[in-house]
Chains A and B, each alone.
Chain A
Amino acid sequence: MIEVEGLTVRFAGVIPIDDMSVTFPKGACGLIGPNGAGKTTFFNVLSGFVRPSTGTIRAFGEDLLKMVDYRRARWGLRRTFQTEQAIERLSVFDNVAMIHEHSRDGRAARRGAVLGALDFVGLEASPEAKAGSLGARERRLLEVARAVVGKPRVVLLDEPAAGLPEEETVHLGEVIKRIPGEFGALVILVDHDMSLVSACCETTAVLDFGKLIASGPTPEVMRNEAVIKAYLGTEADS
């Protein structure tokens, strides 16, 4: 469970996150909102790249903001980025293994955990293949494998389906949906694809111009007037 209290982020003259209070209970939670709503900034706060002006974040009872940035991965925080980040010069196996090396899972479990994660996401490519030789879909799956290896507590997925065709998005959705059950991790999914969020997430929070405008069970949120106006409305216009 992640509890966010009064979180505000200020850059010079801009307030990307304004007094945000929300709870991500368990399972897979969606975080949606129009462009510039502050979704990625929120992830950057969780990762430690951005320091908030005020507010607290408690993750499974611990004060996340007090943790040194690179130690958060060892604690169990994982994330993917909007642009894919597979390390081209390393093999598929090493790409996942390097995450495991900096996790709290033991060395003896490494080989099994890495192959298990690759199997979990359904990546058919050889573990010895260089990540640079993979296609877009395989790289996305590799990133998810990197995010779930080594006993994660919280998995942040930033538009994992960006640029993927419809049917591959469906497969990715199935994988994401299984993460909480398989690894016991809380998933927060940011995506523009409403169908992916609806398919994966029991609860959803909506940001607009840095303010939280709705949160709750996904079907209810999708019917919320303010959400339709702020988010879906602008989508329909474009």
Chain B
Amino acid sequence: MSTTSAPTQNQIEPARPSLRVDREITFRAVVILAFLAIVMFLLPSVLGSDWIKTFTSVAIYSVVALGLGILYGRVGMISLGQIGLLAIGTWTATRLNYAFHLPFPVLLLLTGAITCVIGTLIGLPALRLSGLYLALITLMAAGAVNIILSAINFPNGGGGFTGHTTAVDLSGLAPVRRPAGAAGDTAYYRYVVVVCALMFLLALVHLATKAGRAWASIRESEPSALASGVNITLYKMWAFALASFMTGIAGGLLASQLGQPTIYGFPIQDSLTLLAVVLIGGIYSLWGAVIAGSFMQLVPFIFQAEWNVNANFLLIIFGAGLLQVLLTAPGGLADQVPKDLAKLWRFISGPLRRGAPA
């Protein structure tokens, strides 16, 4: 052991990596701000109203994908109930909308809180089950939600607990309100992007602190996490609570986006599709959630509205994409694309640099 070199090395060590990390953080911040600027200002100025509506859905489903990404990618708990939870969030927001005249942010937070409680209860089996069994239980929970909401319908301004009226003349009933000052599609789109960005920030804060490290420890090995002093029950429930809260917020945004939501917007198979696109996008990356949201909403729109192709063909494409990811790129597109771009850049720049006079 070289005891003589240890002290000098020690003095230099903390400074060097932190400088590198600072530069990395700056780079990331610039990329994120540029991305937000493009999404919020460039897209609305060049795209039509149908596209903007689609991008609103992309942002909302990115948050749903983010919730699943935290559960599966960070903690290792698989849930196929996320679309059911989104339906619960949308129903709750719709109900609250017709029942009270709450300011929109309050309505969103209340929806998030209620969905959080329900989602955490659905997640309770995760304390005993994992893998396929947990997936099955959560899928069945989503199925139960679907059946219940089909039976009681989404509120449309009627009375009682369900808030649904079967009156033939619905002309007097207003759609779900949008936030004050964001009634138009473009304004509402920007509002949604900001709220979704806040959800990503919430996830980032969790992942970079004690909870994120405890989750990583649970994901690596539960016995080791336990021996490290991690209260596994608490942190697993915390992950379900966080994912459910986010999904509830997404549901609240979706209610106002749709105006008159119905259960047909939440087919059970969407839960499976969500898992597929989250894996394709990249389960370990926050960007992966954005890619997943795009696959979930943007790609079907392009297929159907722009190319006139039946969007069901997408299932085949997602299947092939999933196979490709599972076999060759476990980090998903969010991990693979930057690597491929770097490779491409070396491929292009290599001959140029070698050819250039020194």
Contacts and interface: CB of A to CB of B under 8 A. Distances in A.
Contacts of B312: none
Contacts of A171: 1
A174 B229 contact: no
B13 A73 contact: no
Interface string B9-37: 11001101110110000000000000000
A174 B1 contact: yes
Interface stretch (A54-62, A79-87, A179-187): A79-87
11 contacts: A47-B226, A49-B223, A70-B226, A72-B227, A73-B229, A78-B227, A85-B224, A87-B217, A98-B217, A102-B214, A126-B13
B228 A94 contact: no
Contact of B214 (A79, A86, A98, A115): A98
Contact of A89 (B1, B16, B216): B216
A122 B1 CA distance: 8
Contacts of B223: 47, 49, 81
B72 interface: no
B227 A47 contact: yes
Give the top 7 A-B pairs by smallest Cβ distance, nearest first: A73-B229, A102-B229, A98-B213, A85-B224, A128-B17, A87-B220, A70-B231
A71 interface: yes
Interface residues on A, range: 35 or more
Most buried by A among B217, B224, B228, B231: B228
B288 to A, nearest CB: 14
B210 to A, nearest CB: 5
Contacts of B10: 115, 119
B17 A126 contact: yes
A102 B228 CA distance: 7
A167 to B, nearest CB: 11
B17 A127 contact: yes
A190 to B, nearest CB: 14
Contacts of A8: none
A99 B18 CA distance: 21
Interface centre among A79, A85, A122, A126 (most CB of B within 10 A): A85
Interface in A84-109: 85-90, 94, 97-99, 101-103
B58 to A, nearest CB: 27
Interface of B: 1, 6, 9-10, 13-14, 16-18, 20-21, 210, 213-214, 216-217, 219-221, 223-224, 226-232, 284
Interface of A: 47-49, 69-74, 77-79, 81, 85-90, 94, 97-99, 101-103, 115, 119, 122, 124, 126-128, 146, 171, 174
B228 A98 contact: yes
A74 B229 contact: yes
The listed residue with most A CB atoms (<10 A of its CB), out of B219, B226, B227, is: B227
Given A89-B284, A171-B1, A70 B213 contact: no
Contacts of A146: 228
Contacts of B1: 122, 171, 174
Nearest to B9: A124
B74 to A, nearest CB: 9
A33 to B, nearest CB: 21
B239 to A, nearest CB: 15
Contact of A97 (B17, B213, B219, B284): B213
**Highest count of chain A CB atoms <10 Å: which of B21, B213, B220:** B213
Contacts of A98: 210, 213-214, 216-217, 228, 230
Nearest to B214: A98
Contacts of A115: 10, 13-14
A237 B136 CA distance: 51
Given A87-B216, A119-B10, 7 more contacts: A49-B223, A78-B227, A81-B224, A99-B228, A102-B214, A102-B229, A174-B1
A71 B229 contact: yes
Contact of A101 (B17, B18, B213, B224): B213
A99 B229 contact: yes
- Which of A71, A74, A77, A98: most chain B CB closer than 10 A? A98
A139 to B, nearest CB: 12
B214 to A, nearest CB: 7
A128 B213 contact: no
Nearest to B16: A126
B228 to A, nearest CB: 5
B95 to A, nearest CB: 39
A89 B216 CA distance: 7
A115 B13 CA distance: 10
A89 B214 CA distance: 12
B216 A73 contact: no
A78 B224 CA distance: 10
A93 to B, nearest CB: 9
Which of B1, B220, B229, B232 has the most A CB atoms < 10 Å from its CB?
B229
B226 A49 contact: yes
B231 to A, nearest CB: 5
B20 A73 contact: no
Contacts of B20: 128
A102 B10 CA distance: 26
Contacts of A122: 1, 6
B220 A128 contact: no
Contacts of A101: 210, 213-214
A70 B230 contact: yes
